[in-house]
Copies of this chain bind each other. A is one copy, B any other.
């Protein structure tokens, strides 16, 4: 029965805890868990296990797991690394459904530790106790008053453990503990905390999914260092998206980005962090840009209030602050809508004559000194249908802070719209008081505006369809790959695969001789391009093996002869030629697919030329993408305006580009393991605005000797 409960359910409802290796000294790391359980009023049963003692910190001590009077919900293993593995076996034998292991000394310490970890992992897999850790900081759950941790951050006198439905899963133990402390100190009910440690069994994605599925978590925060199983992360994020639970993540380890900017081909551009960005975009995940930003987002998402639109009304007692907030609202895509005359008049009627009654509203200091001005200006601002989110800026005012806070809380409760307060300077008490009352409050107007932007972005996003790829590998690709002898499938054959998937490709034909080339060119129509066709050459232009703008048959024949000569000089055997219709090059698109080690095949969209090469302006998503997502990718490019035809330039038929991206992503998702990458570069735009694959290449993973041996062995 117990085994059917998830770890999240157990932690949220835990009634009994065994502390294995418990110390009588409550200050020692092995003694703190028991002390904290008492300190935070854990109401369940606590069973210290310590064979050397009769009692531990006043409770009866047991010699071993098997002696316990009941099967506890949770075992907290606080002993050092050497004793952990046999203990896990005992827990499993006794039927304990969940264990948390604090001990370090595993894979994080090098070769020897890695061996210990492998051995422990096997033991866990063979048993029936699920495990969090090792090398973790513990789990803290306010609903059950469970403080299954040893972090000294729990030693403080500023806060009771509070729960507003904010869960926080952290791959960094120390940062996790710091952030938990910071949140609770600010009056923020981060009441569900898990430090995941080395994740030999329960991983961050699995725990996130469990927290979503359990059903009482309102907002999920995470500190991510790296996820091994991208599919599991997508599963967790999809579940949260479907359940309307916002997810905000601090993902560290972006250093690949620098490399991406300098790289030449899509393979490098789809650096791991760019893929995370794509995954986050897919599921509406809000990515934190700082620790405080992570908490700021938790602050707004802990409330269930969601804006109906992007319009913010700003009420300040300072014109200068109003301008500052308007700047950032615009930067962040929010609207500081000018109120219509009716509502301006309502506001004018309640403000002093030299106040400003249009958005942003400067009430002057009267908002602090005159209770009527406070009540009326806030009520009108919140009632106004031109307000989706109300932003209030105040500061200092210690002598009146409680009255003002109570008024704000009362007015905020009169409508179901988000109300965000910034309180600059002062005693700090309004911050805690308002946050604890469910009115998200900030110390800096820019932080408040960023949180509002996250709230609006999340609330107005299109949900992912949750459509998953069900089909197996594409059989046409499989047969082409099986027949391939080199590292590449040549451009003509690659484009035939693309055409088969419904992607428009350039008119072209492969030939053996310059004379045949001239004949084909006449059929295609001038001007044409003539290129070397070989599966040995990825970058033809470097070899001078591409000639463009050929306007008649003689020019084609001459170019063909020249190209074959250069190929022969470079030692390329069996070179053929391809004759191709020449398309305008004023709008170049790149569409590529590579295999990300974490997320599998990913689709990359970029604009050719400067934007991709110099600014690394690309969008990446795990394949396949659907039509809505393809459209999002297009819009998210910094150079999107170019695709849409900015300032007299021609653009691409966006629907056709969307269909092309979807078809490409579905094809490449099914390309199979031998395919290392597929790239359309360039995808040009013909006179009708249709995207046309002009050059394309499929790169294969070599069949190594090792592969062959393994096959032979099997």
Which A residues are within 8 Å of any B CB, using their own CB?
104-105, 108-110, 113, 151-153, 155-156, 158, 170-175, 177-182, 185, 223, 225, 250, 252-255, 257-258, 264, 289-293, 316-321, 323-324, 326-327, 330-331, 353-354, 365, 368, 395-399, 424-428, 443-447, 609-611, 613-615, 638-639, 641-642, 646-647
Contact = CB atoms under 8 A, between A and B. Distances in A.
A292 B396 contact: no
B395 A153 contact: yes
A178 B425 contact: yes
Contacts of A327: 252-255
Given A252-B320, A613-B647, 19 more contacts: A108-B319, A108-B354, A110-B354, A152-B368, A174-B317, A174-B321, A174-B365, A185-B428, A225-B319, A225-B320, A289-B446, A290-B444, A291-B324, A291-B445, A292-B443, A292-B444, A610-B611, A613-B646, A615-B615
B158 A427 contact: yes
A323 B398 contact: no
A110 B357 CA distance: 13
A658 to B, nearest CB: 21
A97 B414 CA distance: 54
A647 B188 CA distance: 50
Contact of A225 (B258, B323, B614): B323
Given A177-B425, A291-B444, A444-B291, A171 B615 contact: no
B320 A396 contact: no
A318 B174 contact: yes
A326 B446 contact: no
A179 B446 CA distance: 14
Contacts of A426: 153, 156, 178, 181
Contact of A399 (B155, B181, B264): B155
Greatest chain B CB density within 10 A among A152, A178, A255, A646 is at A178
B424 A175 contact: yes
Given A179-B424, A185-B428, A424-B179, A174 B320 contact: yes
B291 A424 contact: yes
Contacts of A396: 151-153, 156, 177-178, 181
Contacts of A398: 152, 155-156
Given A320-B172, A365-B174, A181 B639 contact: no
22 contacts: A104-B354, A152-B397, A153-B395, A171-B320, A173-B320, A174-B365, A178-B395, A178-B426, A179-B424, A179-B425, A182-B424, A182-B425, A182-B443, A252-B320, A252-B324, A290-B444, A290-B447, A291-B324, A291-B445, A610-B639, A613-B646, A614-B642
B447 A255 contact: no
B110 A321 contact: no
Contacts of A610: 609-611, 639, 642
Contact of A175 (B185, B321, B354): B321
Contact of A185 (B156, B181, B425, B641): B425
Given A110-B354, A175-B424, A614-B641, A253 B182 contact: no
Contacts of A330: 254-255, 257-258
Nearest to A253: B323
Contacts of A641: 614
The 10 closest A-B pairs by CB, nearest first: A172-B320, A178-B395, A181-B425, A174-B318, A290-B446, A109-B354, A153-B396, A178-B424, A178-B425, A182-B425
Given A179-B425, A642-B614, A105 B354 contact: yes
Contacts of A152: 368, 396-399
A246 to B, nearest CB: 21
Contacts of A316: 174
A139 to B, nearest CB: 17
A183 to B, nearest CB: 8
Contact of A446 (B105, B151, B173, B291): B291
Contacts of A225: 319-320, 323
Of A105, A175, A264, A638, most buried by chain B (CB within 10 Å of CB) is: A175
B614 A319 contact: no
A112 B327 CA distance: 30
Contacts of A319: 108, 172, 225
Given A152-B399, A321-B172, A396-B153, A113 B181 contact: no
B175 A646 contact: no
A431 to B, nearest CB: 12
Contacts of A175: 318, 320-321, 324, 395, 424
Given A151-B396, A320-B171, A354-B108, A180 B647 contact: no
A321 B225 CA distance: 10
A332 to B, nearest CB: 12
A96 to B, nearest CB: 27
A452 to B, nearest CB: 14
A103 to B, nearest CB: 12
